[in-house]
Amino acid sequence: MHISKVVNPEGFTEIYFEEVGHWDDFELILGLLHQENDCQILSNDEMIYIRQAKLLWHNIKFELIQDDMLGNFILSKNSDDSEALEKLATNVIISIKEKLSQKGNANN
């Protein structure tokens, strides 16, 4: 599990949650952003092939998107925010890894 970053054709930054890309993983990521990273959820919409939440974190507005073809990713329309959002996404990956590790230790 890790993050990857791309700049899409419109020039916006997309930060992908690699190996955490399923439909059900969206709720896990959204919960960690909200509960452990103090992100405020402004909206959370579920459509047929896409889920989209708009969030606010330290005056940075961004979106968490789950797309059936692309997986789960953070979208930022402000390139100045990309470094901070990369750190935020990394925090989420670290938290997921820690929770999986704790779960594995509890089963032993």
Q: What is the mean pLDDT of each run of 10 residues along the chain (108 residues)?
A: 94 95 94 97 94 96 95 94 95 94 74
pLDDT at 107: 64
How far is the C-alpha of 70 from the C-alpha of 7, rounded, in Å? Answer: 14
**pTM of the predicted structure, to 2 decimals:** 0.92
Q: Does domain 2-107 have CATH number 3.30.310?
A: yes
pLDDT at 103: 80
pLDDT at 104: 75
pLDDT at 102: 87
pLDDT at 46: 92
Closest listed residue to residue 18, CA positions, set 34, 5, 32, 37: 5
pLDDT at 106: 67
